[in-house]
Structure 1
Amino acid sequence: MVTKIIAQGEKPGQVPQGYIKVPVLDENGVLIKKKEKIVTQTECDGDRYDMVQKMWRMLLSGVYSPPQIRKIANNDWKFRTRRTPKTGDVPLTASMIYKIFNNPFYAGYISHGGELYEGRHKPMITLKEFDYAQRLLGTKGKNRQGTYIYAFASMIRCGVCDCLVGGKTNVKLLKSTNARKVYVHYYCTRKSEYRPCNQRIYTSLESIEEQIASELQKYTILPEFRDLAIKILRRNNKIEIKERKQVYESQQKRRNQIQDQLDKLIDMRTRDMLDDDEFMSQKRILKNELVRIDDLLRSTEKRADNWLELTEEAFDFATYAAIRFKTTDDAMVKRHILATLGANFVLKDQKLTITPNEWLIPIKEQYPALEKAYLNARTNKNSSSPDREKLFEEIFQSWRAQWGSNPRHPA
């Protein structure tokens, strides 16, 4: 019975924070009952859905740890759990926040017996985002305790032993001025008993930030280039929507093919053409593929709605991230900029290596030539403003065709 309910897209029993169970009514507004029990379905909890979704966004940003998110939710938002007959109406506990972030229900799926079943409820995140969150939680979201906030703690790994890099603060009293001087360094925590490490030299915060700033410069574009590029993107919005529709139809076709294979598999089992082990093995493969395709469909639907917004955010990052990183004193802002810049941050012999996010690579490889062509067009006295803009659009579209209409901005 439980499996049947789950297969229909409903989770038996209570649902996680952010959702509620509501009674199902027939066409006459009368409660539907089965075996004297009221039939219910999962809906969004109007009082908590947006707050829980915001918790997920904070986690996925890589800036906030679960304890920090819990503190903000309880103290700033006054979040309280859903009231039930026996409990509820209380702040989030430490175990509750991790229970939220470990539950695929928020990605639209119900976990049962080692398999994921698609739910009928409205998801807060995609399955891809859920998987990314689980990788973030591999560090258990714990920041080093202390009065100083280490912007890059738990983000960087040692290039020798793969242990996390932590931060350390030393305060010295300057005798000449009687002032306090704060020195911040990063170092390999060397917590592995099985992987020897020779990285004992500390790297200063200044050195780390200089290397990040240098990397950001490789992906920085002119502000006027950004303005013209976004103007062209908005003009081509309808074309983008058409292309997204074609992608969606292709994915839907693939889903139908997998569903047909699953139906045929069930038919073969019914006619004893497959034994139980072979049937279950092939069924699991097809079901997992369905889950993957459904997540792609959802992502395509989402991108079709907000691709332009994400593209503008990507151009904003490429335009302003370097100067913002240089001028801000906010450690969390710097952490967010680094998380947006790339992944797989490795520190070895005081050298920081950054693997840039895919959507930034074309900027580094192709933008310099594009900028040169743009500046030549801008300074050409023999061409009018419309002519220069037309030339720029031709150059930009050529570059953008290689970039792809979706820059895959992590936001």
Structure 2
Amino acid sequence: MNTEKITYFIYARKSTEGEDRQSLSISSQIEDISRLQTQQGLRVTETITDSASAKIPFNRPAYASMIKRIKKGEAGGIIVWKIDRLARNHLEWGELMHLLQTGVIKSIWTMHREYLSSDSALLISLEASMATQFSVDLSEIVKRGLRKKVSLGQPPIIAPTGYLNTKHNDHGSNSIIVDPKRWPLMRKAFDLMLTGQYTVGQVAAILNDGYNFRSRSTKKRMGKPLATSVLYRSIIDPFYTGYFNYKGELHKGMYKPMITLEEFDTIQVILGRKEKPKPHKHDFAFTGFIRCGCCGCAITASRKLKKLQTTGEYKDYTFYHCTKRKGAATCADKRYTTEKEMLALIEEELQNIALVPRWKSWAAETVKADNEDELQKQQKLLKSIGDYEQKLLSELDNLLDLRISNELSDEQYNQKKAERRHQLIRVQEKYSKRKRTLTTGSSR
């Protein structure tokens, strides 16, 4: 072949997908190709690069443009580092082989050999089939590895805020661990949301301004304050409960959960309200039975979140004070008593009280009887939850039967299956929690 009369395109491709991670980078490919060009005296009109996968047909605009320009006669050959850089699917291989055999493409140079129109079509087709089959096999290996990882409770994802990905050299052995710096801050965010007193934006501002929250720095960018959108995506993500989504199904993770399913559901209810957040109704330990010694009004309590000037952190404080609601009477007591001070006053008062042995015995028997009644209630509730769990398992089996008999489409089956799986996970979590509570109570 008289290469002096042929004008070539240099084509280099580096896929961003896992199948090509071992391939040379584009710059390295071009460097090798340039040496080949000099050695063979090849005339090049342009260098074209791609960074998309070749296993998907017609997925590379730069490659498609190059083929179109070759058909127009702008060039008659291609120089490529390796033949599988050009295609890894049968459709594009077929077009490439047709152009080569009909002489539209007169020459394809690689680092190892030159492909000409006169070459055996069988040899070129064999190499094309090997490259295509490599993609198919590798894709299946990757999918199988991901399924195995999911079955072991390891999400094949980038760790969300509050967690980190390990960086082991052995492929597939990495896992998700706690980020010691941001974990407590994200937990604080969930706690603030659970009060019902803050919007997502307000919680993000508290973490950024009060706790100096910054995202993890990388080589390309510095750490940034927590964005409201990032925090919102986090608090609606079941990942933080110890369950992760993979292909539409929830799977139990082997990493440390940050919140419980009950807390997660509570936050979703809070987020679902259309009106602005209202003050949360708290249950305070010492309200309802204590009255003001000055005016006789009931004692109430308030919970405040204050920023400590010394450390810049936020801390919850509970204050007890008079309601001042007894008619038109005014209370002269303007003081606020902290929860710690209230505990000290109650303990001091209890020191002056002596229990009559007969009353003490009666109280112990009453408490025991109440505990037995409560135990029976808990046992009935546990049985009810267990029965519901079995009902959901039966429904899952029935769904499979309906799918096998073609009474449900794939879409309907997957949707209903996902719904039942989500319900089952919550029921199983509730069953385990109730069982632990019942066991602990019985052991006492």
Scaled by the length of structure 2, what TM-score is found?
A: 0.38
Scaled by the length of structure 1, what TM-score is found?
A: 0.41
Greater Rg, structure 1 or structure 2? 2
